[in-house]
A and B are shown apart, each in its own frame.
Chain A
Amino acid sequence: MDAIILQTLNGLDKGSAYALIALGLTLIFGTLGVVNFAHGALFMIGAFCAVTMQRFLNLSYTLLDPTKKDFLGNPLKVQTPYVEHWFGHDTGAAIINWSVPLSILLAIPVMLILGFVMERGLIKHFYKRPHADQILVTFGLAIVLQEIVKQVFGANPIPTPAPVEFSGSLDIGALIGFPANAIVYPYWRLIYFLFSLGVIGAVFSFLRFTTFGMVVRAGMADRETVGLLGINIDRRFTLMFGIAAAVAGMAGAMYVPINSPNYHMGMDFLVISFVVVVVGGMGSLPGAVAAGFLLGVLEAYASLNEVKSIIPGIDQIIIYVIAIIVLLTRPRGLMGRRGVMED
């Protein structure tokens, strides 16, 4: 029992990442009709926004402290981050400590701009071209973005810790009557899960309660009619692309403490997020979210030893098996609308 609860929790944080990427993917597909293979790269760039933020906050100047000597007897070099210099030692240290959450402030504008540039500069020209061309050009873009990041940050994963306040774990088991240390869940994963719920909620209420969102939803249902009403869909769709990029970016930035980011993490997540979108139903926002969590949790269950002993290796392939079954038996996905790419 405790193992199942633990795996459910473990599945939720990965599921959060899947859900957030899939949400953007399906938003882009639903509004723009474009299959974006570069969406994983956007997640990855979001993660490197966090790395950048951390490095930026740690920019330091060096002073020679003649009062202390290092082990060679030379004056000790003291590195002081500028932030500490400007805001005083304590505030500065706190800011550096909180660099990952703060990096969202960097990720949102960066991803919005990147999204706008991508849509206006590239994707726009591919609306009328076949899906295969869209896949190919965004695949090329994904390679380019990935390689640029590799050149700037190198090929190795870069550990980027969460604020120390969240570095510990919460003994959830003890709270609900299990023995101590039976169900231990790192704080940051919990925060990531809550954060993703918040982002998902924000996106949904934005689409639900604003005129902008209404038009976008109408456009997803029937683009031509809304166009005929004289509403400038294209501009709104550009913004939608920016938002999808920002969601992926935030998902990436906050994910950094869970897994140290590397340049190819986007590709790894992309394949699964595609599966998530397909399982949830192409163009269905609730479907993407539900399928994201569902697959995350199922993947975690499959890695239980009891399950693995029955079907060895199932944890490695369960997501793909589910995708194949869903595509063959219910091609429009769990929550997809009838007629959307059902062939």
Chain B
Amino acid sequence: MLGLEKKDMRFLLIVLLLTLAAPILLNPFAENSAMAQFNAGYPDLMQRIAIFSIFAVGFNILFGLTGYLSFGHAAFLGVGSYAAMWMFKLLSMNILPAIGLSVVIAGVFALLIGYISLRRSGIYFSILTLAFAQMSFNMAYSVLTPLTNGETGLQLALDDPRVLDAANTSGSLPDTSLFGLAMNSTLKVEFLGRLFQFNVGYYVCGMISVVMFYIALRIFRSPFGMMLRAVKSNQHRMSYTGLNARPYTLAAFVISGMYAGLAGGLMAAMDPLAGAERMQWTASGEVVLMTILGGAGTMLGPVLGAGFIKYFENIFSKINDNVLHSWFAFLPHWIQDPLVWLFARFTGEGWHLTLGLLFMLVVIFLPGGLVEGGQRIGRLFRRKQGAGGDGPAHPPKPAPHVAE
């Protein structure tokens, strides 16, 4: 179905169901319980997870398949946001033309940057993309101020033309919407002491991310995807096999740039604001982090990585000294205070430190990311179970499916 094998179809359906049910699944704790702070079923957080999943899944098409490490993908994210904002300002608050334009513009931008950057490989490619992104960032702050509104960032204004929309008489800024359905409208349901929030914006992001996941899955399973893996494996052999590696990598670069542009457009659609800091190289680093942490080259990895980082960013940032003190309240003061001090280094403001450490640990010990970690644990488990079995001791190891 849908051009997928049974196994992939099941995989996609699970992703779809999880996306649909996320507002319920991510809110397992009762509203007033002490654990409520670990809930993740807020529209804002879920939107961010969905958007960054798109970003990371797209990045993975480039990095995971071809091995080209781009340090400039945030530039496409930023460009996508600006493009979407201009659509909101000039044309309509409907998000469809906005995200459409952000994908197109990011694609054109990626074609331009990719065409030049891909003339080099290895670290040179990384540095070139970094230089381009940094250049775009600097330009957004300076020369391009008429387009980007510099440091303030691009915002909606009451007197924007919005030629397609009816005249705005309310005196307040209009909301982004999908054919009249406002992105920020939320259906709140109280059930079993839990507050479930079904937000339009989240479902738009979620559904788009499932579609983008499906497209990525098809690319992974296509002959084109196979060629991209061949680029990573041995470019020398590839060219002597009659294949031109450059258009393949360029296509991958543009596709991943369009994913980033879409993510940027959606960001603006959820919160109509675009600033240059979205293009900074720390933002590029973040998507690299997500992909590696989850598992580069796997289907699930980038989604896991994006969810993991955004969730823990949210949780960890909320754990301040007061929260820590309440956790360790049962301990005598002379233990409690140092413990709180220690934990406070890694939580709240210290979240980035945790992230950096985690990142190093993953690169050092688990280059395959969380997905590989899961596989290792699974294998350990299976080996223990099958220890008494009488199967062949060491069957030749079949190649694992890339989806795993």
Contacts and interface: CB of A to CB of B under 8 A. Distances in A.
Determine whether A and B are in direct contact in the complex, meaning some CB atoms lie less than 8 angstroms apart: yes
B127 A274 contact: yes
A106 B146 CA distance: 47
Contact of B69 (A125, A135, A271, A328): A135
B353 A331 contact: no
B367 interface: yes
Q: What are the 6 closest A-B residue pairs judged by CB atoms, nearest first?
A: A313-B143, A143-B356, A140-B360, A147-B353, A140-B359, A316-B138
A276 B126 CA distance: 15
Interface stretch (B223-231, B280-288, B382-390): B280-288
B122 A343 contact: yes
A139 B285 CA distance: 8
Contacts of B285: 139, 143
Interface string B130-142: 1110110011011
B349 interface: yes
Given A132-B67, A151-B350, A320-B134, 20 more contacts: A122-B364, A131-B122, A133-B367, A135-B123, A136-B69, A136-B363, A140-B357, A140-B360, A141-B356, A143-B285, A271-B281, A274-B127, A275-B127, A313-B138, A313-B142, A316-B139, A316-B143, A324-B128, A327-B127, A331-B124
Contacts of B282: 267
A323 interface: yes
A151 B357 CA distance: 15
A74 to B, nearest CB: 31
A321 B120 contact: no
A148 interface: yes
B111 interface: no
Contact of B135 (A274, A312, A320): A320
B345 interface: yes
A147 B141 contact: no
A141 B135 CA distance: 24
A35 to B, nearest CB: 5
Contacts of B127: 274-275, 278, 323, 327
Interface in A193-240: none
B128 A317 contact: no
A174 interface: no
If over half of B's interface residues share one DSSP class (helix, strand or loop), that class is named, otherwise mixed; here it is helix
Nearest to B121: A343
A247 to B, nearest CB: 21
Interface string B85-112: 0000000000000000000000000000
Interface residues of B, number: 41
5 contacts: A122-B360, A136-B288, A151-B353, A278-B127, A343-B122
Nearest to A147: B353
Nearest to A315: B142
Contacts of A316: 135, 138-139, 141-143
Given A143-B355, A147-B352, A131 B130 contact: no
Contacts of B138: 313, 316-317, 320
A147 B350 contact: yes
A313 B276 CA distance: 15
A312 B134 CA distance: 17
Interface in A272-316: 274-275, 278, 312-313, 316
Interface in A135-167: 135-137, 139-144, 146-148, 150-151
Nearest to B128: A327
Nearest to B367: A133
Nearest to A141: B360
B350 A271 contact: no
Nearest to A129: B367
Contacts of A321: 135
Contact of B349 (A125, A140, A151): A151
A271 to B, nearest CB: 5
A341 interface: yes
B359 A143 contact: yes
A331 B125 CA distance: 11
A321 B116 CA distance: 12
B292 interface: yes
Contacts of A125: 364
Contacts of B356: 140-144, 146-147
A144 B357 contact: yes
